[in-house]
């Protein structure tokens, strides 16, 4: 069985808990780390080449918001319940 066949078995249809695609909604931690490392290395290389120029510091309110967003975004909630992408909210 090919790895893609295993994914199809796991991710197609519904189970007693809901849609089986929920397991595919987050990337595995090492894949996420690899993506982050790739972005970092690319930015670092472009800065060294002079393609990226550092601007003056951000205003404190925006800097504070970005720092809080980073703090919240870096936490992976292992206990979070995955929901289907489409969740109708009555007659909209």
| Distinct helix (H) and strand (E) counts, the chain | 3, 2
The pLDDT of residue 45: 92
In contact, 81 and 26? CB cutoff 8 Å: no
Q: What is the pTM (predicted TM-score) of this model? A: 0.42
21 compared with 78, residue with greater pLDDT: 21
* Radius of gyration, CA atoms only, the chain: 20
Can you give the pLDDT at residue 49? Answer: 92
> Residue 9 pLDDT more than 70?
no
């Amino acid at each position: 069985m090919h790895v893609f066949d295993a994914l199809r078995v796991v991710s197609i249809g519904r189970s007693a808990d809901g849609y089986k695609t929920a397991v595919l909604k987050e990337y595995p931690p090492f894949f996420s780390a690899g993506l982050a490392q790739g972005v970092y290395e690319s930015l670092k290389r472009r800065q060294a080449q002079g393609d990226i120029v550092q601007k003056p510091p951000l205003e404190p309110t925006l800097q504070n918001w970005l720092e809080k967003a980073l703090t919240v975004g870096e936490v992976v909630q292992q206990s979070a319940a995955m929901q289907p992408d489409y969740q109708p909210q009555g007659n909209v």
